[in-house]
Amino acid sequence: MNIRNQLIQNRFRSFGISLLLLVSQVSQADQILPPPDFDLSQPAISIIIDDMGYRLQSGNRAINLPGAVTYSFLPYSPHVKALSKLAHDKNKEVMLHLPMESENNNKLGPGGLTECMTEKKFINVLESSIKSIPYIKGFNNHMGSLLTKSNIWMTRLMQEIAVDNRLYFVDSKTTKDSVALKIAREEGIQSIQRDIFIDHEETDVFIRQQLKKLIRKAKREGTALAIAHPKKETLAILENWIPLLHSQGIRLVPVSSLIQMQQQKKYALWKKNIQ
């Protein structure tokens, strides 16, 4: 290891970012700079709509939400091809909502990853799930409170993604003990974690409360990421809420852009510290 790389590693240890990630992103700054029209002084949020692909009507309504909402599709869902094409045609990002084993043994459905699989089957299922989603740009875990705690399986998963795919990763953070984000970054994968679940309680009051938390976090930290679902109550609120973001000084961006913005902030801090 040369002196420069050692310096980078020491300065970023507090961030929990590995040397591999730093060499691939920080030492090649042009790869992590956001597009020129990004104003890092303006708070930004991303919203992922999970569980897409099984219901055509609510899926269409979700994709017609205003702004740069991102959509995560369950593998092999009956309407994934039509809805992902619609999202793509509207210049919106498409993700894979990858089922992973939970602690309470919830049914995973097609494409689910479990600890009892052989390594070969694990990789085959992963690759097949990725191929089932047209226009895929990234992926996040569906459930996974058990599997995302496993260093062994998360390492194997992220290594496979890093070798054969150019996908970003969102840790849905279904357990506080998840190691998925840490390992994704160690493997050099563009990654981020969920900050707010918008609608795990399906009431108007709760959803609006969570959206207020999302705005506060974005204004406090510069960026914030939320996950919601194509539920009737959620979509009705978002249809009216998203157009008001501009008046609050908030920008809605795709998940890939939010990741770039976070990286740019870290790069700026690193550059400031070494000067």
Residue pLDDT, tens place only, 140-179? 999 999 999 999 999 999 999 998 778 999 999 999 999 9
The DSSP output letter for 246 is: G
Farthest-apart Cα atoms in the chain, separation: 57
pLDDT for residue 9 is more than 50: no
* DSSP, residue by residue, 108-168: --TT-B-TTS-HHHHHHHHHHHHHTSTTEEEEEEEE-TTGGG-HHHHHHHHHHHHHH---E
* Domain ranges for the chain: 42-274
pLDDT per residue over 38-79, tens digit each? 678 899 999 999 999 999 999 999 999 999 999 999 999 999
What is the value of pTM for the model shown?
Answer: 0.86
pLDDT per position as a tens digit, 100-134:
999 998 999 999 999 999 999 999 999 999 999 99
CATH of 42-274, one of 3.65.10.10, 3.40.50.150, 3.40.50.2020, 3.20.20.370: 3.20.20.370
Distance CA 238, CA 3 (A): 50
Chain CA centroid to CA 25, Å: 18
**DSSP secondary structure of 194-237:** --EES-SS-SHHHHHHHHHHHHHHHHHHSEEEEEE---HHHHHH
What is the structure's pLDDT at 38? 65
CA 95 to CA 240: how far, in whole Å?
Answer: 24
